[in-house]
Amino acid sequence: WQVYNGDASAPFRETNYRPEIFYQAPVSSTLMGGAWVGRIGLEHESNGRSQYLSRSWNRVFLGIGFQKDRWAIYLQPWYRLPEDKKKDDNNPATPPPPKGDDNPDIEDFLGHYELWAVYNAEGYELTNMVRHNFDTGNGSVEIGISFPLWGRLKGFVQYYNGYGESLIDYDHSIQRIGVGLLLTDLL
């Protein structure tokens, strides 16, 4: 949402889609006395736009997570599936073809993995997400807190700093603060 910006497409700035198919299974381990889980899958992320505004990528991932008591951590490294280069005729009067890689440098900004950490303290849940690219040093960090409002309804405040907050500006570093409502927490 961006209800405050009527000049640039309020109330929505962009909608991103991230369907995935995965297999998840418990990992048999007594290490650290908690529950381990492994996940392998395929993920597509896109903004559903066309031509100049199209952003998308596909990746395979292998993740490992751990949960104990009130906290959890999950690491998901990925491999970007390569796409063919766009066959552009370099004519500014014609839009680029729909087939081909819309953003060949996206991994330079969104990195090679996501690392999530969650801690639940008496109904308040603290979350942290980090992405990083080892070669470019680019990435992002997201920090959030959720709190009880009424019944299962919760409020949240979230801070984001870095690249890839939305696909349309994946290659621009931004800072934002968001507020909203949640129906469920991560833990």
Buried b (16+ CB within 10 A) or exposed e, 36-66: beebebebebbbeeeeeebbbbebebebebb
Residue 2 pLDDT exceeds 90: no
For residues 83 and 170, give the distance between their C-alpha atoms in angstroms, rounded to a whole number.
Answer: 18
DSSP 104: T
Say what the pTM is. Answer: 0.85
User: Mean pLDDT of all residues in the chain?
Assistant: 89
Top-confidence residue, 86 or 17 = 17
For residues 34 and 37, give the distance between their C-alpha atoms in angstroms, rounded to a whole number.
Answer: 10
Residue 1 pLDDT exceeds 70: no
SS3 106: helix
Question: Are residues 92 and 106 in contact, defined by beta-carbon separation less than 8 angstroms?
Answer: no
Annotated catalytic residue, options 28, 44, 112, 172 = 44
pLDDT tens track for 42-65? 999 998 887 778 899 999 999 999
Q: Tell me whether residue 46 is one of the annotated catalytic residues.
A: yes
Q: Tell me whether residue 112 is one of the annotated catalytic residues.
A: no
pLDDT of residue 14: 80
pLDDT of residue 48: 84
Annotated catalytic residue, options 46, 132, 166, 173 = 46
